[in-house]
Amino acid sequence: MTKFVKSNEAVVMGALYAGCDLYFGYPITPASEIAHGAAKWFPMLGRTFVQAECETASVNMMFGAAGAGKLCMTATSGPGFSLMQEGISYLAGAELPAVIVDINRAGPGLGNVYPEQSDYTPAVKGGGHGNYQTFTLAPASAQEMCDLTIKAFQMAAKWRTPAVVFADGLQGQMMENVTLPDAELPRPDFSDWAAQGEAKTRQNLVKSIFLDAAAQEVFNEHLQRKYEDMAADAMAETYLAADAELIIVAFGIASRVARTTAETLRRKGLKVGVFRPITLNPFPRERLAAAAKGRKVMTIELDAGQFADDVRLNLAKSGLGAEAASVMMIHRMGGQVVTVDDVVKAGKMILGK
Amino acid sequence: MKTIEQKGMYPKFPRSGKDTRVTHYCAGCGHGIVNKLVAECCAEMGLQDNTIFVDPVGCGVFTYYYWDAAHISAAHGRASAAATGVSRARPDAVTIAYQGDGDLGAIGFNNAFQAASRGEKFGCIFINNSLYGMTGGQMAPTTLEGETTTTTPFGRDPALTGHPLHVCEVFSQLQAPVYIARVSVADTKRILQCKQAIKRLFEIQRDHKGYALLEILAPCPTNFRMDPLKAAEFCKNEMEAEFPLGVFKDAEKGVGGSRSCATEGGADAQERVPPASASLVVKPVPQVASCAELFGVSDGVDAPPAEDDPAVPERRFKFAGYGGQGILSLGICVAEAARLEKRHTLWFPSYGPEQRGGSASCSVVVSGMPIGSPTVEHPDVLVCMNQPSYERFVGDVKKGGVVIVDATVPLTKQPPEGVKLYQVPAIQMAEDFGVPKAANTMMLAALRAFKATGLGDESLETALCASFKKKPQLVEKNRDLLRRAEDALLNN
């Protein structure tokens, strides 16, 4: 079945196919369509929708539902995402699978409802307290809003971690074709650790507390090993990159601007390609290094440079110090989207044409 | 030494890191007594397999050392939110949240209150010892007037910090809860009453009747700076004077409640006042068996997936006008027509505060190949139905592009060179046809008449008809309007 749907609705469809049983949410523009879809469709499938009193409640309801062994989710935007950080830290600390969708709006503060990617650091690096990370995916189309939401549930369950679907206000509102999966995923079995109210789970304890410093350190080391292992599930794609002299690195909506830019510059005879991380954490470092080695590198982003810094860090950690040092950035903020015209101009300049 | 078995508790407490049966509670602490009673009730009622305890942050944080049942250790203040998640996820289980007065009364008050208001199906045991215990005896919302704590070193001054918070009294104003009571563990008689109340709380959860709150007045000798006996006396005398014991509400037994509850009320409960409007009724949720059944029917056009065709050039559209002129649906109509032709298609609206009055616009991109940038910086086709959007967008139109503007819009600006401009009396024509709302259909007719979309006439018409899928009586009318408008435009 192929449908023409708003990306925000595609998220709900993906979640339902993934076997998500509970949705907890608080309204916020530009993510509200996700709650609207969930409010209608979850109950129709006999699943649960709860409108929480605030985002703090949403995330802690998820803590309870995930702790009780069910797949659950919420969706929000910047200010709500900030409020959830404590709870996401608890989810990570208790190793609970749950999916948080952040439809990034412009900030800081109240800002406005237009697209930014400025929640990059909290969405990718773990925005709350303690040494934790999330599995973070960055869709770039309505199809991926569905597919990567499904992937987020799979990764959350596989790695026992909160997963973040990180998109932006423009993407959330976009309508495109979405081909839905053929089948719903089976529910994972969490009875070896979840508190399910059954005899077999009576001895299970869901907690993030380690009163003993040594035990807390051992747990932290376990988490860090897990995050290293997650690298096996990193995802990325390249476009026109094989012979490119300039690689544009961008994720989410910015990667689509990059794509059009590369096509435009190729038509002018300039060798420009695109590298797009699909997972932002784990970051596809090796693939980035392979695509960027010996090339000129430019990022496109809707923030102040948080992503460019991460690209530099990943290049440097790959031993590509020179490439890291020379990373350039084209960016807009405040809800403005980088235009193809601007990137084309910058690309020409970089390539000296 | 022979250990005496304590019903409902682990024989030893290895989770505490010690191989003993000593709790972490101070001598004379109310928590210790309540922990014993909760364990007994849970075991005596045979509910240990089914119970999920949601533990707080505070002195009650370690109940998972003691109670032999499943536990989830929540964040500070969030036990009621977490218990909401647990009870929704496991409606067959018995969910019990355990919270203190800082946890429930301060940081988590709204979570607890809203859970009660929603009538969540869990029981909340709320320990009121008039202060924060774990963090060092600070003032809580329940601290008595004049009571000395580490943050009210001169006694709580109501002029500065208000009066003690009466949780039971506040919560019993709500309609949904089925049981709200306050008990104490300050002496033997009260402890026995407390156990009966805890049992009642478990019964209500076992039978899945609804939300229940049990406030328990508990002494905290350490932070009262008293010996256990004096602390118990303080609890009985000073605290009970402020917080009277009693059942505030027991819906099944007809006790309390100014408005009736989910379960049948008794003599005191009033009949539920029916809603003023007959239209305000809860509708049954239509049930479907699977996602495939739910999403298998298209709201609009039934179109196949897009197919790549490098020969089809990309075309970018901008539609703009006032909200209410059908701008967004005009854009969707063109997008749906493109989908029918297996084109890659993207639609994107202006959104946010803009959509609530003033101008509205949307962008459509149609391409033979996957679409990159979704934003339409330089439209190939611009359709404008009001002056502000004409002035805003006309300068951006690509060379070789087309502008279709309503005839009411004064041409205060000229389009760039090489752009074709059509003035169409769409608003007037719709009024002449007697369907003022159909100005957007007039614009669709213009797009079709002037071959501005690169899409087939048939596709545009099918898409228009599909947009009225939910109002089938309007399909033929709009098809007719489209054709008549097109004829009129081509003949003038």
Both tokens of A76, joined, read 């929000």
Given this model, what pLDDT does residue A300 score?
98
- My answer on whether B218 and B339 are in the same domain is no
User: Quick check: B262 pLDDT over 50?
Assistant: no
Q: Do A48 and B294 touch (CB under 8 A)?
A: no
- B81, B85, B288 ranked by CB distance to A68: nearest: B85
User: Quick check: B311 pLDDT over 50?
Assistant: yes
Determine the Cα–Cα distance for residues B442 and B480; give it in Å rounded to an integer: 11
Q: Could you tell me what percent of chain A has a pLDDT over 90?
A: 99
Q: Does A1 touch chain B (CB under 8 A)?
A: yes
Closest among A27, A17, A35, A128 to A83, alpha carbons compared: A128
What are the start-end ranges of the H helices in B63-220? Answer: 63-66, 79-89, 101-102, 109-118, 158-161, 167-171, 188-206
Given this model, what pLDDT does residue A310 score?
98
Determine the Cα–Cα distance for residues A61 and A70; give it in Å rounded to an integer: 12
Highest CATH level, class, for A2-232: alpha beta
How far are the Cα atoms of A29, A41, A72, A147 from residue A49, in angstroms, in the given order? 18, 9, 10, 21
In the stretch 208-267 of chain A, residues with CB closer than 8 A to chain B read 208-209, 211-212, 253, 256-261, 263
Interaxial angle between packed helices A55-67 and B79-89, expressed in degrees from 0 to 180 and rounded to the nearest 10: 50
CA atoms within 13 A on the CB side of B145: 11
DSSP category for residue B251? G
How far are the Cα atoms of A271, A305, A325, A340, B82 from residue A308, in angstroms, in the given order? 21, 5, 11, 18, 37
- My answer on whether B261 and B112 are in the same domain is yes
Is B402 domain-assigned? yes
Is B292 domain-assigned? no
**CB-based contacts of A23, cutoff 8 Å, min separation 6:** A12, A15, A35, A38, A39, A42, A47, A48, A49, A50, A72, A73, A74
DSSP string, B290-332: -HHHHHSS-SS---PPP---TTS--EEEEEEEETTSSHHHHHH
Closest among B334, B305, B320, B322 to B405, alpha carbons compared: B320
Do residues B279 and A168 touch, judged by C-beta distance below 8 A? Answer: no
Summarize the confidence of residues B396-400 as an average pLDDT. Answer: 96
Summarize the confidence of residues A33-58 as an average pLDDT. Answer: 98
How far are the Cα atoms of B35, B210, B231, B322 from residue B194, in angstroms, in the given order? 12, 20, 18, 65
CA distance B403 to chain A (A): 22
pLDDT in tens, A283-330: 999 999 999 999 999 999 999 999 999 999 999 999 999 999 999 999
DSSP category for residue B153? T
Is B305 domain-assigned? no
Domain residue ranges in chain A: 2-232, 235-350
Report the residue of B57, B59, B87, B90 to disrupt the A interface, i.e. the one with the largest count of A CBs within 10 Å: B90
Q: Could you tell me what percent of chain A has a pLDDT over 70?
A: 100
Radius of gyration of chain A (CA): 20
Is the backbone of residue A273 left (phi > 0), alpha (psi -120 to 50) or beta? beta
Question: Checking DSSP bridges between strand B255-256 and strand B246-250, what pairing results, if any?
Answer: antiparallel
Sign, CA dihedral B368-B374-B375-B381, equals: positive
CA distance A336 to chain B (A): 11
Is B481 domain-assigned? yes
Q: Do B372 and A256 touch (CB under 8 A)?
A: yes
Summarize the confidence of residues A107-134 as an average pLDDT. Answer: 97
Work out the burial of residue B238: count CB atoms within 10 Å of its CB; fewer than 13 is exposed, 13-18 middle, 19 or more buried: middle
Given this model, what pLDDT does residue B492 score?
76
Domain ranges, residue B59: 14-269
- My answer on whether B232 and B379 are in the same domain is no
Determine the Cα–Cα distance for residues A318 and A109; give it in Å rounded to an integer: 36
Determine the Cα–Cα distance for residues A21 and A47; give it in Å rounded to an integer: 5
One-letter identity of residue B455: L
DSSP string, B227-247: -HHHHHHHIIIIIHHHS--EE
Q: Do A197 and B288 touch (CB under 8 A)?
A: no
User: Quick check: A109 pLDDT over 60?
Assistant: yes
Given this model, what pLDDT does residue B71 score?
98
User: Quick check: B109 pLDDT over 90?
Assistant: yes
Dihedral pair phi/psi, residue B434, rounded to 5°: 80, 15
- My answer on whether B81 and B178 are in the same domain is yes
Band of pLDDT at residue B358, cut at 50, 70 and 90: confident
Work out the burial of residue B484: count CB atoms within 10 Å of its CB; fewer than 13 is exposed, 13-18 middle, 19 or more buried: middle
Residue of A nearest to B108 (CA): A57
Given this model, what pLDDT does residue B263 score?
43
- My answer on whether B383 and B262 are in the same domain is no
Is B274 domain-assigned? no
Enumerate the β-bridge partners of residue A239: A274
Tell which of B237, B269, B301 closes a domain.
B269
Given this model, what pLDDT does residue B275 score?
58
User: Quick check: B264 pLDDT over 70?
Assistant: no
User: Quick check: B454 pLDDT over 70?
Assistant: yes
Q: Do A50 and B95 touch (CB under 8 A)?
A: no
Given this model, what pLDDT does residue B302 score?
84
- A64, A198, A341 ranked by CB distance to B54: nearest: A64
- My answer on whether B263 and B322 are in the same domain is no
- My answer on whether B394 and B480 are in the same domain is yes
The overall average pLDDT reported for chain B is 93
Chain A contacts of B341, Cβ < 8 Å? none
How far are the Cα atoms of A83, B94, B127, B245 from residue B54, in angstroms, in the given order? 21, 11, 14, 25
Is B278 domain-assigned? no
Summarize the confidence of residues B160-181 as an average pLDDT. Answer: 97
Given this model, what pLDDT does residue B182 score?
98
- My answer on whether B343 and B468 are in the same domain is yes
CA distance B237 to chain A (A): 36
Determine the Cα–Cα distance for residues A153 and B289; give it in Å rounded to an integer: 21
CA atoms within 13 A on the CB side of B411: 12
Q: How far is CA A30 from the centre of its chain?
A: 16
User: Quick check: B266 pLDDT over 50?
Assistant: no
Looking at 3.40.640.10, 3.40.50.920, 3.30.70.1050, 3.40.50.300, the CATH number of the domain A235-350 comes to 3.40.50.920
Q: Do A170 and B375 touch (CB under 8 A)?
A: yes
Band of pLDDT at residue B276, cut at 50, 70 and 90: low
Summarize the confidence of residues A328-340 as an average pLDDT. Answer: 96
Given this model, what pLDDT does residue B258 score?
55
Coil, helix or strand for B98?
Answer: strand
Neighbours of A54 (CB within 10 A): 16
Summarize the confidence of residues A47-60 as an average pLDDT. Answer: 98
How far are the Cα atoms of A19, A25, A63, A92 from residue A161, in angstroms, in the given order? 16, 19, 11, 6
Question: Checking DSSP bridges between strand B315-322 and strand B359-367, what pairing results, if any?
Answer: antiparallel
In the stretch 274-333 of chain A, residues with CB closer than 8 A to chain B read none
Residue of B nearest to A201 (CA): B70
User: Quick check: B76 pLDDT over 50?
Assistant: yes
Summarize the confidence of residues B464-492 as an average pLDDT. Answer: 92
Enumerate the β-bridge partners of residue B362: B319, B349
Determine the Cα–Cα distance for residues B224 and B195; give it in Å rounded to an integer: 24
Q: Do B88 and A61 touch (CB under 8 A)?
A: yes
Determine the Cα–Cα distance for residues B205 and B93; give it in Å rounded to an integer: 8
Neighbours of A203 (CB within 10 A): 12
**CB-based contacts of B213, cutoff 8 Å, min separation 6:** B112, B116, B123, B124, B126, B167, B168, B171, B177, B179, B180, B181
The overall average pLDDT reported for chain A is 97
Q: Among B49-63, B285-299, B347-361, whose mean pLDDT is lowest?
A: B347-361
Fold: same for A2-232 and A235-350:
yes
Determine the Cα–Cα distance for residues A158 and B394; give it in Å rounded to an integer: 52
Q: Do B352 and A174 touch (CB under 8 A)?
A: no
Q: Does A51 touch chain B (CB under 8 A)?
A: no
Dihedral pair phi/psi, residue A274, rounded to 5°: -125, 135
- A1, A86, A199 ranked by CB distance to B295: nearest: A1
User: Quick check: B33 pLDDT over 60?
Assistant: yes
Tell which of B202, B237, B269 closes a domain.
B269
- My answer on whether B384 and B461 are in the same domain is yes
Band of pLDDT at residue B268, cut at 50, 70 and 90: very low
Tell which of B250, B269, B288 closes a domain.
B269
Query: What is the residue whose two structure tokens read 């007994």?
Result: B40
Coil, helix or strand for A328?
Answer: strand
- My answer on whether B18 and B86 are in the same domain is yes
Is B9 domain-assigned? no
Summarize the confidence of residues B324-349 as an average pLDDT. Answer: 96
Q: Do A259 and B373 touch (CB under 8 A)?
A: yes
Determine the Cα–Cα distance for residues A21 and A208; give it in Å rounded to an integer: 23
Give ∠ CA A66-A67-A72 in degrees, rounded to 5. Answer: 10
pLDDT in tens, A247-279: 999 999 999 999 999 999 999 999 999 999 999
Given this model, what pLDDT does residue B260 score?
43
Neighbours of B355 (CB within 10 A): 14
Dihedral pair phi/psi, residue B142, rounded to 5°: -90, 0
Number of domains in chain B: 2
Q: Do B52 and A63 touch (CB under 8 A)?
A: no
User: Quick check: B339 pLDDT over 80?
Assistant: yes
Is B208 domain-assigned? yes
Summarize the confidence of residues A129-156 as an average pLDDT. Answer: 98
CA distance B19 to chain A (A): 15
Determine the Cα–Cα distance for residues B12 and A112; give it in Å rounded to an integer: 56
Helices and strands in chain A: count of H runs, count of E runs: 13, 16
Do residues B440 and B327 touch, judged by C-beta distance below 8 A? Answer: yes
DSSP category for residue B67? B
DSSP category for residue B270? P
Summarize the confidence of residues B2-27 as an average pLDDT. Answer: 88
Q: Does A74 touch chain B (CB under 8 A)?
A: no
Using CA atoms in the order A17, A22, A28, A33, what is the torsion angle rounded to 10 degrees?
Answer: 30
